[in-house]
Structure 1
Amino acid sequence: MLHRHALSLSIGVGLTSACLLFVEPLAAADHDPWPSTKVGEPTPKVEGMPPELAKRLANFDDLDFRVYTGQQWEDLHKSHAKDITVHYPDGHTTKGIPDHIKELEFMWTFAPDNRITEHPVRFGTADAEWTAVMGFLDGTFTKPMTLADGTVIQPTGKTYHLPMATLGRWNKEGMMDEEYLFWDNATLMTQIGVGK
């Protein structure tokens, strides 16, 4: 009988603790320490965020909203180290800014309106060595898409709203040395009407 009461007490304490764990984040959500950002809006200032991390997240917003979206490749060096290693969703990598640009440019060959307009999730480590940013690639399939094997897919006129994420490792000079890109190519193909 004593074991049953002790077990009941343990379960009760455990459930109470779990409830408190859920209440704590909800209360903290009122003071969002990791606010989202959108194109055309100022980068929010977050109380208590280490200055170097705030600077790198703002740099990343500029990278996606202005440099990437506007294909202003001449400014890629403001966030990317010259010899950056980039890992892509299919497992291949590139080394250096020129090869990274060649990979990025593909999106505009079939969707001239390709863009990133929001970062609903953005955070990083206190030492600012790592940042993690989630956004959406948006565009419309209006031009023929030529695949690596030479296959040409005719445009469908359909739009895409593709979730993507970037994990960035930053060096002491404030540039990304390494970048991990994540998105689902199968989802892209389905959204633009060429996938199953």
Structure 2
Amino acid sequence: MIDRRALLRDSGAVALGALALGAVAGGTPAVAQDAVNSTPLPDPATSPVPNPPFPRGLNHAERAHLETFDELDFDVFTHADWARLGESHAPNIRVHWPDGHYTDGIERHIADLQALFVWAPDTRIHEHPIRIAMNEFTAVTGVMRGTFTRPMPDGKGGHIPPTGKSYAINMVTVGIWNRRAGYMDEEFLFWDNLAFYSQIGLA
């Protein structure tokens, strides 16, 4: 028996890993109808693209997971409405970050998300160029944007002065959902930290 969670965790290519899960499970993940025959997307971080319609062929739970995730990024995250994070995240959620560390619990995750808004209060996500769903898994790409306009805590009791520079980074979130509860039990966040820090003038 293949442990699909372990397979996902060890995959370097997130989108391909999510698609591979469909083959392993003997099914086909629901992806955007035009994905196979469309022309390649431009870089969504530099050439914004419209949000596509939801994929065809989703079952009720898969559609609900993607709708909840849209609500999470476009409304809850973008407006820093942390009281609503429990609509999409389990109380004991494990979140894996791009640098390889992970955290447990929704309160810790809220604190980590709030830290982004300290130095970039306009942080937001309005685009989900690709949405994939199959069974309890979703893989969604997004573009996170913001501007380094306020001092950034350096973790040593001091602050890094703002550079005034904006950032727009492509990211991927892979979620493992609890079907009965309707929220994620585990979340994997992927983006290029070097690109991130370079854009805000810290690398």
Instruction: Work out whether the TM-score is over 0.5.
Output: yes
Partner residue, 2:166: 159
Is 1:90 the counterpart of 2:126? The answer is no
Is 1:76 the counterpart of 2:75? The answer is no
- Normalised by the length of structure 2, the TM-score is 0.72
In 2, distance between residues paired with 1:82 and 1:28? 37
| Contiguous gaps of at least 5 residues in structure 2 | 1-32, 39-43, 45-49
Number of aligned positions between the proteins = 160
Task: Describe the shift of the 1:89–1:142 C-alpha distance in structure 2 as closer, same or farther (beyond 3 A).
Answer: same
Contact 2:51–2:128 under 8 Å retained in 1? no
Aligned-residue sequence identity (percent) comes to: 46
Task: Describe the shift of the 1:156–1:176 C-alpha distance in structure 2 as closer, same or farther (beyond 3 A).
Answer: same
In 2, distance between residues paired with 1:156 and 1:91? 27
In 1, distance between residues paired with 2:80 and 2:158? 25
Partner residue, 1:111: 120
Structure with the larger RCO, 1 or 2 (CA within 8 Å, 6+ apart): 2
Is 1:137 the counterpart of 2:137? The answer is no
Per the TM alignment, residue 151 of structure 1 is displaced from its structure 2 partner at its CA by 4.5
Kindly provide the CA deviation profile for residues 85-109 of structure 1, in whole angstroms up to 9, marking residues without a partner as x.
1111112211111000011111111
- Normalised by the length of structure 1, the TM-score is 0.75
Structure label with greater radius of gyration: 1
Query: Which structure has more helix as a fraction of its residues?
Result: 1
Kindly provide the CA deviation profile for residues 25-82 of structure 1, in whole angstroms up to 9, marking residues without a partner as x.
979536xxxxx9xxxx998354322221111001000000000111111111111111
Give runs of ≥4 in structure 1 deviating > 6 Å: none
Instruction: Give SS of 1:112's match.
Output: coil
The amino acid of 1:81's aligned partner reads: A
The amino acid of 2:37's aligned partner reads: A
Instruction: Give SS of 2:202's match.
Output: coil
Task: Describe the shift of the 1:152–1:57 C-alpha distance in structure 2 as closer, same or farther (beyond 3 A).
Answer: same
Is 1:148 the counterpart of 2:155? The answer is yes
Task: Describe the shift of the 1:27–1:119 C-alpha distance in structure 2 as closer, same or farther (beyond 3 A).
Answer: closer
